[in-house]
Amino acid sequence: MNDGRIDSALREATDTENVTIGSGVLASVDDLFGQSFGGRPAVVVADENTFAVAGGEVLRHLEGAGRGLIEPYVFAGEPTLYAEYANIEKLVEALREHEAIPVAVGSGTLNDIVKRASYECGRPYLCVATAASMDGYTAFGASIEKDGLKQTLSCPAPKTVLADLDVLVAAPSDMTASGYADLLGKVTSGADWLVADALEVEPIDPSGWSLVQDHLREWTGEPAGLHDGDRQATEHLIEGLIMSGLGMQSYQSSRTASGAEHQFSHLWEMEGLGHGEGHEGPPLSHGFKVGVGSVAVAALYERILERDLGNLDIDARRGAWPGRDEVERSVRASHTLPDLEEGAVVQSLAKYINAEELAGRLELLREVWPSLRGRLADQLMPAARIREMLRAGGCPTKPNEIGLGWEEFKATYSRARTIRKRYTVLDLAAEAGVLDECVEELFAPDGFWGREAASQARAGGAG
């Protein structure tokens, strides 16, 4: 399948030692467990859905081998399991009653909860993937809501990952589509890292970059096949998601696979936005929100690349640059949730530079812009093309499809910048003084989003 790509990547990994992908490989779970953990006992951790899909079979294989087993821990009673710290605390309390190795059976939220809980208990764990729905299986860290803020909490990736294609292909189509949107988002996150590298904010790590970007076009090239349940397309997708996670593991940071498009998603999640059309039902998946964020960021890049940022009036930008106190006041004024406000202030001030430092950065931008502009053009896809690929994969592409009104969506461009200290295109545009005018162009009647809004209004849509 992967021409040794995953095996090669595992040699660079700090946590994960084995990744097994294939049809029928669920039957090998006890062998893989034994290779990683010897004769130690196991405890299956799942939710009600994932236990029915694969957890029961995993349990039977472990029982059939005569392995010591603890009663499975199944999150029950809630229609949707949330990646919130309270669930980690519940699992930690249960795990501390024994010494068994957790076997996580599930996808994004379940894996993140087990990942962090295992770490807090000082144990490694094994993960059985149930859907090609996100890139966190092999990633360092867990994305958890804690103290009102979506945070990446430190914790190692699983020692072993098992992904049975028979299970993945049978997963709900929206979960597969979510994984596709998450992976396609690496197009814009890669562009953001190019910007941070060129401006000497965060140099590109060749290994972390290569693991995620080298085969990205191949992994994301079959959206229609994914939507139709094609096995090969699913195989390519799970390989890309696993490799993306290994890139984060290698670099010990999500920078390799997360940029402004993820900041859009995290902001909507923390604000309770991003639901299904009509705001009914549980919050949409992380990947679906990342997909809409990717279109938004790609559209912003198009406006920026039409400008000559090598010809900025640096003295004017220096004179207009706000002080730290002004930045703090502005950030506080832009948020209405107290915990989110406090977190945004901390993140924004962590990346703040003063007026003289800004002038130096813009001087560097003036020097590197011709070459950077070319590298960005090579890395990016047109926003319309990303939108087309997402649609082919069964993903939402417009704000109303994820329960966002146009004004909420428009405001995201400035507010998303405040919630992470990571340097992205949002920071580049703000420092160059073009963010507001680019956003206005996008939402003008003939702009990328203005045309969408007008079309929706003509159709009588809400939002």
Give residues with Cβ within 8 angstroms of 64, minimum separation 6: 30
Average pLDDT, the chain: 93
Q: Are residues 139 and 283 in the same domain?
A: no
Q: Is residue 288 scored above 60 in pLDDT?
A: yes
Label residue 274 by pLDDT band (50, 70, 90). Answer: low
In angstroms, rounded to a whole number, what is the distance separating the alpha carbons of residues 129 and 111?
9
The overall pTM is greater than 0.85: yes
| CATH number of the domain within which 317 lies | 1.20.1090.10
Residue 303 lies in a domain: yes
Residue type for 236, please?
A: H
Label residue 175 by pLDDT band (50, 70, 90). Answer: very high
Q: Write down the pLDDT at residue 462.
A: 47
Q: Write down the pLDDT at residue 231.
A: 94
Residue 230 lies in a domain: no
Structure tokens at 218: 């191949």
- Kindly report the backbone phi and psi dihedral angles of residue 89, in degrees, each rounded to the nearest multiple of 5, phi listed first: -60, -40
Mean pLDDT within 54-60:
96
* pLDDT tens track for 289-338: 999 999 999 999 999 999 999 999 999 999 999 999 999 999 999 999 99
Mean pLDDT within 255-266:
96
Q: Are residues 39 and 62 in the same domain?
A: yes
The vertex-421 CA angle with 416 and 427, nearest 5°, equals: 60
Label residue 152 by pLDDT band (50, 70, 90). Answer: confident
Give residues with Cβ within 8 angstroms of 55, minimum separation 6: 44, 46, 72, 74, 105, 128
Q: Are residues 198 and 70 in the same domain?
A: no
Label residue 463 by pLDDT band (50, 70, 90). Answer: very low
In angstroms, rounded to a whole number, what is the distance separating the alpha carbons of residues 418 and 322?
14
Nearest CA to 453 among 410, 413, 391, 421?
Answer: 410
Q: How many domains does the chain have?
A: 2
Residue 337 lies in a domain: yes
Q: Are residues 207 and 355 in the same domain?
A: yes
**Residue whose structure tokens are 């519940």:** 90
Q: Write down the pLDDT at residue 283.
A: 59
Q: Are residues 397 and 292 in the same domain?
A: yes
Q: Are residues 342 and 428 in the same domain?
A: yes
What is the CA 334 to chain-centroid distance, rounded?
A: 24
Give residues with Cβ within 8 angstroms of 356, minimum separation 6: 318
Q: Are residues 419 and 286 in the same domain?
A: yes
**Residue whose structure tokens are 């931008």:** 365
Mean pLDDT within 408-425:
96
Q: Write down the pLDDT at residue 277.
A: 45
- Per the CB < 8 A criterion, the answer to whether 239 and 6 are in contact is yes
Per-position DSSP letters for 216-251, written without gaps between them: HHHHTS-HHHHHTT-HHHHHHHHHHHHHHHHHHHHH
Pairing mode of beta strands 149-153, 101-106: unpaired
Q: Are residues 367 and 417 in the same domain?
A: yes
Residue 276 lies in a domain: yes
Tell me if residue 146 falls in helix, strand or coil.
Answer: strand
Give residues with Cβ within 8 angstroms of 102, minimum separation 6: 42, 43, 45, 95, 114, 117, 118, 123, 125, 126
Q: Are residues 270 and 126 in the same domain?
A: no
Residue 11 lies in a domain: yes
Q: What own/partner pairs with CB < 8 Å and gap ≥ 24 does 150-156 have?
A: 150/266, 150/269, 150/270, 152/254, 153/116, 154/119, 155/115, 155/116, 155/118, 155/119, 155/120, 156/14, 156/15, 156/115, 156/119, 156/124
| Percent of the chain with pLDDT strictly greater than 90 | 83
Q: Which of 137, 171, 205 is the last residue of a domain?
A: 171
Residue 141 lies in a domain: yes
Range of the structural domain that residue 219 is part of:
175-224+253-458
Q: Which of 134, 151, 171 is the last residue of a domain?
A: 171
* pLDDT tens track for 177-227: 999 999 999 999 999 999 999 999 999 999 999 999 999 999 999 999 998
Decide: residue 256, CB within 10 A, 0-12 exposed, 13-18 middle, 19+ buried: buried
SS3 breakdown of the chain: % helix, strand, coil, rounded to 5? 60, 10, 30
Q: Write down the pLDDT at residue 275.
A: 61
Q: Are residues 141 and 186 in the same domain?
A: no
Give residues with Cβ within 8 angstroms of 411, minimum separation 6: 334
| CATH number of the domain within which 38 lies | 3.40.50.1970
